[in-house]
Chain A
């Protein structure tokens, strides 16, 4: 685990804004109205495929993303990791385009591609010059239903995923801890299972598991196509209809059924000791509503609470623990609002100098209590809102960021209208609501605290 130098820690803290922004930001600006040709379009094909087009004609680049409304939290018990394993296997070819042909074609035209899996979604994307958009659609539509898998390609790829788990989790003390914190925080829901899967279950995943998952979930009526960049809405509509429109919907596809969490009633602690750790750290996590599950406006309140409490160097945690008291090397908070089911609010910190981890945790708890009891000032609420609102303008500079924002929102229960109304809803949040949310949700007696500690003396 690395404690990053200050400048980097700040950089990271800064991304918390981006995170919240992604919870649903919009392009609509009253300060600078979006020109008509840059307006975001949203429509649905007859087979149920939703299409979002985000024009940005500044550079001859297009981002083409296909998002499926399925992620690791949709896996059957015992099959953890299958959503992510299938994502890897999606690069193994079809009858029409054998293994490697899609990637070769992308590379030939100077394109960039990748794919990613989360709890609630799996997405595939390419960035290419506009004239290659149609080719990308042709290939992507083909592999939505045409995937061909043999043991000869599945078996080595399972080894790749095992190496990936080794890289991401097994060799990283903080990942080992956070995996366990999640498993403790969620008592019954799939968010408690790691996206990449547990090692002993990854080892048993096979071709049949992958195909079953694929046939069940990969269908146009379970997907969102996002096209951003140097494109024209009508052109995208025509191309999407031509290439994706003919794929039949899956009539068997039901509503997304997730196991529900029981109430959180206990305070739990998870401790991991590792000989690599020299500076301890801690986190405290709560299950809270997401943009999808929250009562009206409550997720926006949690975003602003997170920003005021621990979003970057102007936040209370940073100013109090790092700057004024001088007891922490880092301190902050985050809220993962873009989530289909109840999500996580977290606070973290690490000590510096003579201070102990207990000092840091106690001081952070005190800051939380202070907001729950005394609320926030009008000035800091205004500053936090302004940071979000300007981040929306900056976000428009990045077409792939915009595509990601819409894709993540639309696969976790939000709509384009929700995203576009987000700035207004942020503006509408009142100070009292922040105080109430802190009191209601950040209750020490219903939290999970994770400790990352050095190996005890005398042991190794």
Chain B
């Protein structure tokens, strides 16, 4: 444990680097997935290829992708940019399907009435569809955020600095404190980001308070009623 106290600076620094690698990937994944999802819903022939394609990306393991990407985009294996791109791809793989389904789930009634009120197609997308799909999109972003933060560390075996470096160093030099610090910081970082996303969701979508906790409870109620 003394190792941790002596190396608080390093841990703090690596935490920031870790964030700098993972957060851009989350933002990119979110921003790119929305238009892709929109295309998937609008142009039905493209729907299956797009969703299956991005789904397939999801099957690709991270380390091999970290190694393959430089050959495709011309970065070096140890380039942080390489990691950001790879994480964005994973985020996209997770996000596109859930975004497409979230946007698709906005009922026709709501869309028709919005059009009837006089929204333009673009205006309707931002004011109605995107807002109503918000809760489901948020759920997707939360998953992407947490898994990105956890995935970054793998790149440490290639020599990219992040909290993962605490694992490689700790393992090489037999310091349990280093590895423990890395694990705890990664989990704490993921939890804080997740919490911030939930709070942001409540601010942006006040109508959806506690949506995540209501659903199972509703279900339980229904089951009880069915049993009664």
A is bound by B: no
